[in-house]
Chains A and B, each alone.
Chain A
Amino acid sequence: KNEVEQSPQNLTAQEGEFITINCSYSVGISALHWLQQHPGGGIVSLFMLSSGKKKHGRLIATINIQEKHSSLHITASHPRDSAVYICAVERRADKLIFGTGTRLQVFP
């Protein structure tokens, strides 16, 4: 069993829909990262959080340490949000363990 599990693996949505991507992990962590990888391959760090909730524009990330679960929400989704979203957990000294990613396609 992977230490970091994401769901769903693939997600399609119509423009404007509210989107949720889930991440569960089975190990103790010091922080959790949400990353975005566009079709060209470049990776952008979206959020890094160890408790509670963070918001940046239309993106919201939450984490529940007791339940070992995090969610990434996208409000008012747009075709430019189409990308692979990757959850990664940090166990020690910034070594990241990655989930397999969620491929999101938003259609106009």
Chain B
Amino acid sequence: GAGVSQSPSNKVTEKGKDVELRCDPISGHTALYWYRQSLGQGLEFLIYFQGNSAPDKSGLPSDRFSAERTGGSVSTLTIQRTQQEDSAVYLCASSLTGWSNQPQHFGDGTRLSIL
């Protein structure tokens, strides 16, 4: 497709379960970003990939969160042993080269609800 694709669009799961969120960036974009937006809160940076490497993991809120990117394309964000405070919209974005002054293109997000 032409844009950033995220799946699933909605995910409801029980506390304690693991979840995996997927992001398909725009073809040819080397930089990929994960953000989250909690209810009523602003956007928060989670992690950034340049190719398959994540030089900046400073935003991951705990060791229950991990992310990987394979083939310089698809990325998955995994949350283990989910907690209610993990409920949020998780947004993925990509940019062409990852250098400054490149616009970021956002997906529609995955709305995660932890019961």
With A41-B89, A41-B109 as given contacts, are A96 and B104 in contact (CB-CB < 8 Å)?
Answer: yes
Q: A49: shortest Cβ distance to chain B, in Å? A: 9
Q: Check if A93 sits within 8 Å of B55, measured CB to CB.
A: yes
Flag B93-115 by CB within 8 Å of A: 1 or 0 each.
10100111111111011010000
Closest A residue to B97 by beta carbon equals A94
Per-residue CB proximity of A11-22 to B under 8 Å, as 1/0? 000000000000
Q: Could you show 9 A-B contacts with beta carbons less than 8 Å apart?
A: A31-B100, A33-B104, A41-B109, A45-B104, A50-B100, A50-B101, A86-B43, A93-B100, A101-B42
Task: Name B residues whose Cβ lies closer than 8 Å to a Cβ of A.
Answer: 31, 33, 35, 41-45, 48, 50, 55-56, 59, 89, 91, 93, 95, 98-106, 108-109, 111
Question: B-contacting residues of A (Cβ < 8 Å)?
Answer: 30-31, 33, 35, 40-45, 48, 50, 86, 88, 90, 92-101
Cβ of A42 and Cβ of B101 under 8 Å apart?
no
The 4 closest A-B pairs by CB, nearest first: A43-B106, A30-B100, A98-B43, A100-B42
Which chain A residue has the least Cβ–Cβ distance from B100? A30
Q: Chain A's nearest CB lies how many Å from the CB of B33?
A: 7
CB-CB nearest in chain A for B93: A43
| Most B C-beta atoms less than 10 A away, residue of A43, A93, A99, A100 | A43
- Taking a contact as CB atoms under 8 Å apart, the answer to whether B31 and A94 are in contact is yes
Contact A31 B101 (CB under 8 A): yes
Q: What residues of chain B lie closer than 8 Å to A44, measured between beta carbons?
A: 106
Known contacts being A43-B91, A95-B48, is A33 close to B103, with CB within 8 Å? Answer: yes
A45 touches which one: B50, B99, B106 (CB < 8 A)? Answer: B106
Whether the Cβ atoms of B50 and A93 lie closer than 8 Å is: yes
Closest chain A residue to B98 by CB distance? A94
CB < 8 Å neighbour of A97 from B45, B95, B102, B103:
B45
Question: Whole-angstrom distance from the CB of B96 to the nearest CB of chain A?
Answer: 10
Distance between Cα atoms of A99 and B37 in the complex (Å): 12
